[in-house]
Amino acid sequence: MIFQHPDLICAFSTRPENMSLAYGDTKDVLLNRREFLGSLGVDPDALVCAKQVHGAVVKYVTEADRGRGALSAESAIEGTDALITDKKNLPLGIFTADCLSIFLFDPTNLSIGVIHAGWRSSRENIAVKTINLMAEKFRTKAAHLYVGFGPALRKCCYEVGEEFRSYFSDCVKESDGKLFLDLAAVNLKQLLELGVERARIHDTKICTCCRNKDYFSFRKEGNSCGRIASVIMLK
């Protein structure tokens, strides 16, 4: 669990159960989702998913979207990497295998969001754009938000090329002649600059590559790897 709150369900899965209908071994995904979501008290048929494209599009999810992507990859919301809602019993899910999942909870206005934040989306300030849309739709204030970082490829293992110095100058460090990106630090910096309070940001600090026995890692496994699910829902 990321947050503990009576109005909220918020969790991420672990391996070996693949949760993605688009990547890895997909034959048991619907069963895997039923078991995982059922253990949380979430209706798996109601899950709303996105066709993630490493962009910065944010979607406001309503009852009309209920179940999109729950039973087929084709029915997921197109070209989207972040989902927000203020509707109860409407679970939002994203899928990762090294990218950072970010959970958002506004207890004042009872609204939520979940973000698929890879380096491309982070370079486009997807977390900031998501919170700005929450402000527009729900009157969310950054200072009132709770934010959680799920498992992701961390600075210990996220080796990158020289061009990343220009993308994230403050969050790329050199070690033994190699460059490493701190993706969590990129998003933390953006959130703090927007006005989110540091004390309200919880980081699991889990590295998917270091803990590959527990989490899928594209960097470690390549194209055959599955995905974990990061799910959030208002009760």
Q: Is pLDDT of 93 > 70?
A: yes
Is 39 exposed, middle or buried (CB count within 10 Å of its CB: 0-12, 13-18, 19+)?
exposed
pLDDT tier at 222 (50, 70, 90 boundaries)?
very high
Q: Where are the domains of the chain?
A: 8-154+201-234
| pLDDT per position as a tens digit, 177-188 | 999 999 999 999
pLDDT tier at 109 (50, 70, 90 boundaries)?
very high
| Contact residues for 134 (Cβ-Cβ < 8 A; gap 6+) | 84, 104, 106, 111, 113, 140, 145
CA 197/CA 186 separation, integer angstroms: 16
Is 199 exposed, middle or buried (CB count within 10 Å of its CB: 0-12, 13-18, 19+)?
exposed
Residue range 47-71: average pLDDT?
98
CA 200/CA 108 separation, integer angstroms: 14
Show the CA angle centred on residue 145, arms to residues 141 and 149, nearest 5°.
Answer: 140
For tokens 């993630």, the residue is 52
pLDDT tier at 16 (50, 70, 90 boundaries)?
very high
The rounded mean pLDDT for the chain is: 97
pTM over 0.95: yes
CA 93/CA 69 separation, integer angstroms: 9
pLDDT tier at 3 (50, 70, 90 boundaries)?
confident
Q: Is pLDDT of 204 > 80?
A: yes
pLDDT at residue number 1:
56
Nearest Cα to 183, choosing from 144, 153, 212?
Answer: 153
Contact 43, 21 (CB under 8 A): no
Could you give the residue ranges of the DSSP H alpha helices within the chain?
29-40, 119-123, 126-138, 164-167, 183-194, 218-221
pLDDT at residue number 54:
97
Nearest Cα to 198, choosing from 185, 214, 212?
Answer: 185
pLDDT at residue number 199:
96
Query: Which CATH class for the 8-154+201-234 domain?
Result: alpha beta
| Integer CA distances (angstroms), 165 to 128, 159, 177, 179, 210, in order | 21, 12, 14, 9, 24
CA 197/CA 191 separation, integer angstroms: 8
| Integer CA distances (angstroms), 72 to 32, 50, 75, 76, 126, in order | 14, 11, 6, 7, 25
